[in-house]
A and B are shown apart, each in its own frame.
Chain A
Amino acid sequence: MSEREIMQYDVIIVGAGPAGLTCAIRLKQIKPELNVAIIEKAAEVGAHIVSGAVIEPAPLDELLPGWRENPPPICVPVAKDELWYLTPTGRYRLPTPPQQNNHGNFIVSLGAMCAWLAPKAEALGVDIFPGYAASALHHTGDGAVGGVVIGDMGIDRAGVPKDTFTQGIEIHAPVTVIAEGCRGHLSKQLINQFKLDQHSDPQNYGIGLKELWRVKAGKSVPGLAQHTLGWPLDSSIYGGSFIYHLDKDRIALGFVVGLDYKDPEFSPFEAFQQMKHHPMIRNLLEGGEILSTGARAIVEGGYQALPVTEMPGAILIGDAAGLLNVPKIKGTHQAMRSGMLAAEHLAATAVASSAGFDARLRNSPVVKELHKVRNIRPAFYRGLWRGFVAAAIETVTAGKLPRTLKLHADYSALKKLAGYSPPDRHWVERNLPPRDRLASVYYAATEHDEEQPIHLQILQPDICITRCSEEYDHPCTRFCPAGVYEMVEDSNGKRLQINSANCVHCKTCDIKDPYQIINWVTPEGGSGPNYQNL
C-alpha cells in the first residue's frame, strides 16, 4: 500500500456533536487564523446524534448571542414539567426534583441543532468533513498523539481492496480534540494507552432509546416535558422515560436504562416498547405514526469516573470525557461548555497545546457541577427507593457531605443464569408499532455496505458458543437495540451471526458484554444510521 496522503491543521476535532462544533466555532471566534477541521463519521452532521433533548441555553447564549432570533429548526421552550411514577396501569405525580426543573430550557432535536451549528462553523472557516471516520490515531516519534488516520474505503469482507478502494489520509495537528461522544472508538484506545482512568472509578453507562412520533392532531401539548419512573422496570433497574412534546404534533419519546442491570435475560428494547403501552402513553400514541428511531449509550459515571482529560497531543471533551450530568440527564450544556473551554485553552498558546487542560477543566463550572451531584447515581445501585432517599439528601445538601460513593463497571453487574430469577415485571401484550427490533431499525434508516469488513470484532468467538451459552444465554442478542447479534443453528452448527449492517452505533455491546470481547470499531465512513430530527 502506498504512503498515505497527509493534511495538516492547527487543530483537528473528531466528532461533530455539540462539543466538537462548539469547540471549533469558539476557536475561530478567538483566533480566526487557526486552521481547524472536524471529522464526522455520519454521512451528514447530526445523522448519528440521538438525544432528548431538553437543553440549557446558557452556553448557546454565550457562544452565539442572538441565536434566539434564528433558532434551530426544532426549538420549543419548555412550558411545563411533569414527573410520574408508573405502576402497570396507574400513575402517581411526583414533585419535580430541582435538577429536573426545566424552566427557561428548550426542547430541541440535538441532531437538527448540530446540522444548524455546522454551517455557522463553516462560515467562520472551519473545514467539516462528514462521511469520514477517524479510524486510528497517528502518533509522533515521541509517542504523543499527532493526529488521526481516516479509515480506508472500498474494502471487501475479507479485507481485500475493491475497484473503488480509496486509501484514507492522515490528518496531522499539534492537538487532536476527541469529541466522539459516549464510548468513542479512539477515546477508548487513548484511555487505555495513556491510563487516563487509573485514578478514577470505572465509567458507568446507560442506553437511551428514542422514537420520534407524529401523533393525532390535538394530542400533544407543545412545550410539555414529561418524565416517568417505575413500570415497566422493577425497582432494581435504574431508568425511566422522557416524553417531550414538540411542535407540529410531534412527540419525542425515549427510554433510558442504566447498563448496570443484573438480569441477563433483560432487553432494554422490550422494556421501552412495554413503557409505550402504559395507558398514559398509549393514549398519546394510538393513531400516530413513527417518524424516526434511534439508540445511543449515555455516559453516567460523572465525577467519580472522570478520567484525566489531557494527554500529550490530545484532549477529551464532552461525553467522550464523561461530563454528562446524570440527575439532570443533560450533557449538551456540559459538552458545549467543555468545548468552549478547550477552545480558550488551545487558543491561548502560540502553538496549540494540551498541557494544562485537565486542570483548567477541573477548576471550571463544568466539573463543579458534576461534583455536586456525584453521589446521586451510585445511590441507585441499591434500588430505586433507597436511591430516592439518598438523592434527596444529596440534593438538599448540594453534594457537600464529605463522602463519595464508588462505581463499579457495568459489564460486571450481569448475574449468571444459574441462581438468578428475574422479578415479575407485569409486562403486557403489545400492539403499537414497531413490532420488533428489525421494524424499529428500519426507521433509523441505517445503512452499511454489506461487503465491508464486520466492524464488530469478537475477540474470542469460541466463548460465545461455549461459556456464554451456559453462563448468560447470549445477552448480546437482547441488549443490542438493532438485532445485530443472532445465535443461529444450521447445517454448519451453532454460531453467532453478526448482522453488522443493522448497527446504529449505540456502543452498548462494547460496554455491556460480560466478557468484554466485543470491540466496536469504525466502519467505512458515512455508514450507520441516518437519523432525522433525533
Chain B
Amino acid sequence: MKILVGIKRVVDYNVRVRVLPDGSGVDIDGVKMSINPFDEIALEEALRIKEAGKAAEVIVISCGTDECQQQLRTALAMGADRAIQVKTGSALQPLSTAQALLRVIEREQPGLVILGKQAIDDDNSQTGQMLAALWNRPQATFASKLVFEGEKLTVTREVDAGLETIEVDLPAVVTVDLRLNEPRFVKLPDIMKAKRKPLDVIPLEELGASLASNLDITRYAAPPLRQKGIRVENAAQLVQELKNRGLL
C-alpha cells in the first residue's frame, strides 16, 4: 500500500503574525516557514504505519510555489520515500488543492491519504473533507488513533462530545489531530540522504484539474484588543454579576 501525505508550507507557529499596516496581508517578510504542524503529525503516522510493515511507500505532496520544496526536503529527511510538488504560481484555496490532489491520487493510487486536520495559517479545515467528497471515499477527521484490520481502518476521532470511533474501508482520507503522535526529530545524516531522494515537480496545468473559483479576501485586520472590564468589590458582587450575565 502507498500512503500519500499532504505537506503545507506555513508560517511557523512561533512567529508573531502581524497584519500589515495597510491591511493588504500579513507581514511574512523574513519570517520562519515550516511544515504545518498537523501535517508533520500526519507524516509521522504514515512513517509508523510503514515501519510496522503495513505500507510499502510514503509519498509526500505539496501544492505550492518552489519554496515549498524546502518543506518537502524536510519531509524526505524525516523518512518519506519520495516527494511531489504540484507547482503553482500562488497559494491554492482548499477546493483547488483537493482537486489537484485528486488528480495525483488517480496517478498514484494510494491506499490511504493522511492530511493535517487544518493548516495553521488559514485555519480552514477543509481540504481533507473536500478531497474525500471529490474522491467519493470515506473521511475520518480529527483522528487521534488509527488501527488497521485488513482492508479496514478503525479511527478514533476527537469530537466535542468525547472520543468517537468509526470504521472506514480503504482507500480513505484521514485528517489528524494533535494527540495522535509526537513527530520524530530529523537525524542529521538523513538530511544528506534526503537530498538524493526523488522530488518530482508537476506543473498544476499539467494535471488537467479544473479549479474552482476562489473566495476573495478583501481586507486583513488585527484582531480587536480585549477591553478592560469592570471592577467588583467583593465575592457577593462577583457572583451577582455572573448571574446577571447568565454565566452561573
Which A residues fall within an 8 A CB radius of B?
A: 5, 7, 43-44, 47, 73, 109, 111-112, 115, 127, 129, 131-132, 150, 153-154, 162-164, 166, 168-169, 171, 214, 217, 249, 289, 291, 442-443, 445, 447, 530, 532-533
Contact = CB atoms under 8 A, between A and B. Distances in A.
B189 A169 contact: yes
Given A532-B31, A533-B29, 4 more contacts: A43-B32, A214-B21, A249-B21, A291-B18
B191 A5 contact: no
Contact of B182 (A5, A112, A115, A164): A164
B185 A7 contact: no
21 contacts: A5-B189, A7-B189, A44-B32, A73-B29, A112-B30, A127-B191, A129-B188, A162-B182, A166-B187, A168-B188, A169-B188, A171-B188, A249-B21, A289-B18, A291-B18, A443-B16, A445-B16, A532-B15, A532-B30, A532-B32, A533-B29
A449 to B, nearest CB: 10
B12 interface: yes
Given A443-B16, A445-B14, A47 B184 contact: no
Interface of B: 12, 14-16, 18, 21, 29-32, 182-189, 191-192
Contacts of B189: 5, 7, 169
Contacts of B191: 127, 129
Given A214-B21, A445-B14, A530-B14, A115 B30 contact: yes
A5 B182 CA distance: 23
B53 to A, nearest CB: 19
A164 B48 CA distance: 12
A150 B185 CA distance: 13
Contacts of B185: 153-154, 164, 166
A303 B186 CA distance: 42
Instruction: Give the top 7 A-B pairs by smallest Cβ distance, nearest first.
Output: A166-B185, A153-B185, A530-B14, A445-B14, A533-B30, A447-B14, A44-B32
A99 B139 CA distance: 67
A448 B191 CA distance: 22
A112 B189 CA distance: 27
Contacts of B188: 7, 129, 132, 150, 168-169, 171
A166 to B, nearest CB: 4
Contacts of B12: 43, 530
Nearest to B184: A164
Contacts of B16: 442-443, 445, 532
B192 A47 contact: no
A164 B15 CA distance: 24
A292 B102 CA distance: 41
B29 A530 contact: no
B45 to A, nearest CB: 14
Contacts of B14: 445, 447, 530
A169 B184 contact: no
Contacts of B32: 43-44, 47, 530, 532
Given A530-B12, A530-B14, A163 B29 contact: no
A283 to B, nearest CB: 19
B206 to A, nearest CB: 28
A150 B189 CA distance: 12
Nearest to B191: A129
A239 to B, nearest CB: 28
B18 A127 contact: no
A422 B241 CA distance: 48
A129 B188 CA distance: 8
Contacts of B187: 5, 166, 169
